[in-house]
Structure 1
Amino acid sequence: MKFKKLLKYLLFAVLTGCLAFLYSFSSKRNERKKISKIEVEFEAGDNHFLTHAMVNKLLIQNDTTVKNQAKSVIDLYKLENNVSKNPYVEKAAVFLSIDGVLKSTIKQRTPIVRIITDKGSYYVDRQGVKVPLSSNYSARVLLVSGVKSDKDVKEILPLVRYILADNFLQKEVVGIQKYDTNEYEFSVRSGDYKIDFGTLTNVEVKFKKLKAFYNTTFKDKTIQEYKTINVKYHNQVVCTK
């Protein structure tokens, strides 16, 4: 009985040793494998600002492309960090497949507004992050002028999100002007008239008044007679011709 028990232990030890050897051999062989290919995927197919070639240039290690480098020397964390630092990237993941393919999945930032200043212009995404303009793509978004600080940007974002969440307003409002009095004026798609919105108080009420006014004046086609539509006063819409 003792001999059988000893034999079992010996057999188990031999099998364990064999498995360890095979794993070590396989692991070392895998580490010596070189990166055969680089694959870049954009979430939802949205690659307006960045191209595959531009991302490939970000996947650099030791001042050269990672392609044909050994898997063992690849620093995935550093590569992912390089890609994530790009101002057009919202989220990135970099990983290696068993067959030596370096894959990178990227979610690009989606601008919702373009801020125009005396010094130039830039985009802002839904998270309030500034995104530089690109020579590859020009986003069709709301144009905002009169904004002078990050505080102003933070203040206007809820208004922009409200407009974008409404199917009619999203199509109608094309520009927003902020004045030093903290009052806002909208440029619209349907005519040369302006919407005097006032301050950002009672936003929902003001938009309801505006849409009710539109419903009436669009039907009788009188809206084009006005230069300004003022919704900042309580329970009324004041127009000037």
Structure 2
Amino acid sequence: MNRTLKYALLTLLWLLVAGYVIWASAAARRNRKARTVARLEIEVVDSTSQGHLVSAEMVRRWISSSRIPTVGTAVDEVDLTAIERLIARNGFVDEAVAYIDYDAVLHIEISQRKPLLRLLTDGLNLYATADGHVFGAPRASSLYVPVVTGSYRPPFPGDYSGEVRAHIDSRLAEIDRRIEELEHEKYPYYRREIENDRDIAALRRMRIKRQWWRGESSEAFDKRVVELREKKAELRRLYRYRSRVYRERVEQIAARQQAERAAQKKLEKSYEDFMKLLTFVKIVEEDDFWRSEVVQIAARTTPSGALEVELVPRSGRFTILFGRLDDAEAKFDKLMRFYRSGLSAIGWDEYRTIDVRYRNQVVCKK
């Protein structure tokens, strides 16, 4: 077989392969267009023993209410992206994936978020994850997670859903913009102060000379001197008044800026307290004894804005005043030693409150 014939046969073979691929693709597209969605299957892939936030029936209702075509619709006409967005817009859904298999079955796989605790404080009803994502508790949700009650005010509004850090950053950016706007409000007063300083400098340079060439008398010159002094005194009072007003206006704006910076610090501190609360609940949940012993967590915001916690234990009839959460593990260790060496000997119903807020002390009240 000569070389020319060999190349011709290879070229023909590749043309046949390419033609078959094109024909097969076109046939697949025609077949796909002719097929319709046979059924809808929904799976929550990470349901756990804690319970569930989203169910297949719930998703079916969402899709039905949205009027997005599914079963009976041509496969190519099903808007999978719209379905995923519809499901994912619910804060308790972590991820939603929709696809259609070769049997024309529409599959929707959903992973739900895993809350660490439920906030029932100050009129709120929210779930929070360990990484600081919050979302409203859906109706008929049945998750078995620790519940935090009390008058605690978290650093986000009750209707917020999303990453708390993102909300804090947005608020901080708003405050930064207000501080910058206030800085611009100072500029006109700065300019007026400069102009006023120039007027004061010009006032100091004001002099008069006796007009000998006009034959001015001493009495006339003295009269002009008195008039000039009176004029300078009046202008001096005016310029001092202006200077005081401009300075007060700038100080007022600076005080408003300082208040905004204080609000930033308070907001950051509130976020730190919120994250400490999440860490605190994790400590309780990861310890077999405290997970069983702590029945209720009550959180409150003190007048200074700090977060303090009280615990209701399963044993005894007392309340544990835990206080701030800066050294939670050390306080639990101290409380455990008191459980073993104190309450076991004295009696579990002897005290009304057990206070572990103070360093190296356990204060009990009957």
TM-score in terms of structure 2 length: 0.60
Segment drifting more, 121-130 vs 196-205? 121-130
Displacement of 1:62 after TM fit? 7.7
Distance 1:215 1:59, change over 3 A: same
1:148 to 126, 129, 153: 153
Whether the 8 Å contact between 2:122 and 2:152 is mirrored in structure 1 is no
Change (3 A) 1:65 1:169: farther
Cα deviation, 1:107-139, whole Å, max 9, x if unaligned, reads 222332222234342222223222323332343
Deviations along 1:183-232, whole A, 9 cap, x unmatched? 32212222331111122222211110011112234533612211111112
Aligned to 2:11: 9
Label 1:62 to 1:147 Cα distance change in 2 as closer, same or farther (>3 A). closer
When residues 235 and 119 of structure 1 are mapped into structure 2, their CA distance, relative to the original with a 3 A threshold, is: closer
Once residues 66 and 111 of structure 2 are traced to their aligned partners in structure 1, the CA distance between those partners, rounded to angstroms, is: 26
Over 3 Å counting, the alpha-carbon distance change for 1:74 and 1:25 in structure 2 is same
SS, match of residue 125 in structure 2: strand
Q: Is the 8 A contact 1:48 1:136 kept in 2?
A: no
Q: Which residue of 2 aligns with 1:98?
A: 102
Matches of 2:102 and 2:346 in 1, distance apart?
Answer: 66
Which one-letter code corresponds to 1:175 in the other structure?
I
Decide whether aligned partners of structure 1 residues 11 and 91 sit closer, same or farther in structure 2, where only a CA change above 3 A counts: closer
Question: Which residue in 2 is equivalent to 1:224?
Answer: 349
- In 2, the alpha carbon distance for the partners of 1:45 and 1:158 equals 23
| Structure 1: distance between partners of 2:47 and 2:331 | 37
> What residue number does 1:37 align with?
39
> What does residue 71 of structure 1 align with?
75
Give the structure 1 partner of residue 218 of structure 2.
none
Residues 231 and 10 (structure 1 numbering): CA distance in 2 closer, same or farther, change over 3 Å? same
Structure-1 separation of matches of 2:15 and 2:6: 14
Distance 1:188 1:29 in 2: 65
Aligned match of 1:177:
299
Q: What secondary structure, in the 3-state scheme, does the structure 1 residue paired with 2:344 have?
A: helix
Go from structure 1 to structure 2 and tell me whether the alpha carbon gap of 1:192 and 1:219 turns closer, same or farther (over 3 Å shift): closer
* Structure with the bigger percentage of helix: 2
Tell me, yes or no, if structure 1 residue 25 matches structure 2 residue 27: yes
Q: Aligned residues: percent identity?
A: 27
- With over 3 angstroms needed to count, the CA separation of the structure-2 counterparts of 1:127 and 1:142, relative to structure 1, is same
Inter-partner Cα distance in structure 2 for 1:145 and 1:78: 40
Choose between structure 1 and 2: higher strand proportion.
1
In the other structure, the counterpart of 1:159 is 280
Shift of 1:72: 0.9
Supply the RMSD in Å over aligned alpha carbons: 2.4
Specify whether residues 135 and 62 from structure 1 end up closer, same or farther in structure 2 by C-alpha distance, changes over 3 A only: closer
Q: 1:126 is matched with which residue?
A: 130
SS of residue matched to 2:37: coil
Aligned partner of residue 177 in structure 1, secondary structure: strand
Q: Is the 8 A contact 2:39 2:104 kept in 1?
A: yes
The answer (yes or no) to whether the contact 2:37–2:75 under 8 Å persists in 1 is yes
The one-letter code matched in structure 2 to 1:12 is: W
Conservation of the 8 A alpha-carbon contact between 2:35 and 2:104: yes
Closer/same/farther in 2, CA of residues 121 and 239 from structure 1, 3 Å limit:
same
Matched residues, number: 241
Secondary structure of the 1:224 match is: coil
Preserved contact between residue 36 and residue 67 of structure 1 (Cα < 8 Å): yes
Contact between 1:175 and 1:188, CA under 8 Å: does it hold in 2?
A: no
Greater mean alpha carbon deviation, residues 205-214 or residues 18-27: 18-27
1:190 equivalent in alignment to 2:315 = yes
Aligned position for 2:340: 215
Query: TM-score with structure 1 length normalisation?
Result: 0.87
Unmatched 5+ stretches in structure 2: 156-270
State the alpha-carbon separation in 1 of the partners of residues 300 and 120 from structure 2. 11
1:5–1:61 CA distance, 2 compared to 1 (3 A): farther
